Structure 1
């Protein structure tokens, strides 16, 4: 059984809150809502790897423990942070007591900006070169997996026969006379979440002229906005919300595995796949260890663990033996829209464009509350 410890001056979270088993790491909450998990080496420590990531510890745990099966002398320290905090810390050298060796984030735009601003370190290996060209950029940022942006509904509030399979079907459902989802549609607020903002901008690009009517239909049905995806899924699981639009599939799958009465819909008109990316900071204390972990993530073994445990769609497309994560998902489907890495993501980081986008988005949604 792996012995694990938490590093923080704050009090330990209760095990019941974490849902932790005796073999799982303890966690604590230092300042800035940082949650740190330490996976101690299984033999006398030979190396240390510090990760800053936006995935919760439950999604990273299997990766860390499997990596230690290969490299038992490595202590892995994982800091769970919001993507905006990951970016801010990376731009302020020395602002934190422990600089990270590797940044793992779902805000592709912020990761691209770090690379473009010269704050990353290049790395080439057979594993990185095995990625499709659209999944790596400048040999400094790498997509190691993809999150499907899905619809999720509570099966106790919405019958499967009425569950929309496309955005057009969702609009038709919202226009029904009985208004089955009025006041019970959940969205993440792009004003308070870097990831939600990124998803909203990408969806707007994909929908084009259909974006306004889609947002207007959600607003007319009093869509509720949430600052955090976990809170949104809590409300959806307990029946306060009936359907969530534009959330990550991996988070929903976690709830389903715990028994929540949720069902996932992979939209058939288009399925946005958001890259989870890895960047080695220019000032990484242990770049060699970061490179070794990155190679593990991109290996056949690492990609299989990402799929089975972290519920991500593999970034490698040359590994046919990996079991599909989502029922009905076709990795070569014509409706898939992977986010290709490149400078195009910087457009919506411009402050003027950001303000205008959010003002228009807000005017269409007209929420009754932000939670």
Structure 2
């Protein structure tokens, strides 16, 4: 009898342990380079929604929980993946054990390519039609928010009075005789990151003839390329760096909210606004659930929530930007939203990509990109 009691207690302990692992949002066992968060349903499970996204789960948490308030029987599984992995999985999703119902990515060019190559399904709804034409394409890929591409500096390492407000003042700072930024300025490495490649190509396009001198000046001051935006901001927050060029505003604001001594600069010459986009894969297992979540994402309620909690500028033009950006956006002379469409595929041409990365590496003094380098 005693042995039976021990066995029963062990079984109860195991069940309780499994239950604790399942409480929302719980971390499931990840695959390599994947972080999975499980948001358990509020009522007995009636449906499942699998999201694959490039934002960390913290940025999407409030939106997912709000969706579950409206649909309390739906379990949501969110996989945080690099943008290149999101794209690669969409190509082979039919063989995957857990296929995505909705793909949320900041690599707008790769999302447009998925649509162009027939890997997405159309979704027509009043919420999608409410977006400007430049924020949706073929009713298959939709901008659900915009990221300002910013400069960020450490207020203890760089005097705010000297901090650049546009690229001309940045260039002058880089060329100063006392070299205050030498070895202490950073940017993302487009050779190792799909989203960094997209940002770099779009920034170069906007700068035109001004792109080469700026990149050369960054190289002369030994600018440090980083594979991960989070790692870059870690070093900046710790004071190992003084300034970062070309990072997403939402990532910087998360650090500032947690007390990091950082300040955000939205460049006054031109401000690049990169769309975070959503699409429903062609073989989405729970396509109807994906449509409902996408409509929630694009609705005024969802957009307002994302602006407040994730620091995204709404895709719906009638909604205000996050409060943290309002004064800064007023100073930005020329906000430019990257429109969705075939034009974004230009730099995905392999020859163009190879030449761009070769020139980028040469200007920065870091050598050419390695063949087959990973892009995340």
Normalised by the size of structure 1, how large is the TM-score?
0.91
User: Which structure 1 residue ranges, 5 or more long, are not aligned?
Assistant: 8-22
Deviation sequence 1:283-332 (CA, Å, 0-9, x none) = 00111111111110111110011101011000000235x65341424489
In structure 1, the residue matched to 2:242 is 242
Match of 1:357 in 2: 356
Q: Distance in 1 between matches of 2:198 and 2:119?
A: 21
Residue 337 (structure 1) aligned with residue 336 (structure 2): yes
Count of residue correspondences: 351
1:178: Cα distance to partner?
A: 1.5
Paired residues of 2:268 and 2:331 also in contact (CA < 8 A): no
* Distance in 2 between residues matched to 1:331 and 1:66, nearest whole Å: 31
Give the Cα separation in 2 of the matches to 1:175 and 1:263. Answer: 22
**Contact persistence 2:109–2:345 (CA under 8 A):** yes
Query: Structure 1 CA distance, aligned partners of 2:20 and 2:109?
Result: 33
In structure 2, the gaps of 5 or more residues are 1-17, 370-376
In the superposition, relative to structure 1, how do residues 137 and 224 fare at CA in structure 2: closer, same or farther (>3 Å)? Answer: same
Provide, for residues 247-301 of structure 1, a one-character-per-residue CA deviation record: whole Å limited to 9, x for no partner. 0000111111111100000000000000000000010011111111111011111
Alignment of 1:205-216 (within 5 A): 205-216=205-216
Give the TM-score, by structure 2 length. 0.90
Q: Give the direction of change, closer, same or farther, for the CA distance of 1:332–1:287 in structure 2 (3 Å limit).
A: farther
Distance 1:212 1:332 in 2: 25
1:59 to 1:300, Cα distance in 2 relative to 1, 3 A: same
Alignment of 1:197 onto 2:194? no
Q: Is the 8 A contact 1:40 1:75 kept in 2?
A: yes
CA distance in structure 2 between the aligned counterparts of 1:250 and 1:27, rounded to whole angstroms: 23
Larger Rg over CA atoms: 2
* Separation of aligned partners in 2, 1:245 and 1:332: 18
Give the Cα–Cα distance (whole angstroms) in 2 for the partners of residues 167 and 137 of structure 1.
Answer: 31
Measured at CA, do residues 160 and 81 of structure 1 come closer, stay the same or move farther in structure 2, by a change above 3 Å? same
What is the CA–CA distance in structure 2 between the aligned matches of 1:215 and 1:348, rounded to whole Å? Answer: 18
Distance in 2 (alpha carbons) for counterparts of 1:261 and 1:6:
36
Q: Which residue of 1 aligns with 2:33?
A: 33
Q: Which stretch shifts more, 81-90 or 27-36? A: 27-36
The residue number in structure 1 matching 2:9 is none
Q: Could you say what secondary structure the match of 1:142 adopts?
A: strand
Q: Alpha-carbon deviation of 1:5? A: 6.7
Deviations 1:14-60 (A, max 9, x none): xxxxxxxxx97332562231100000000111111100000011111
Q: Which residue is 1:82 aligned to?
A: 82
The question of whether the paired residues in 1 share the 8 Å contact of 2:151 and 2:245 is answered with: yes
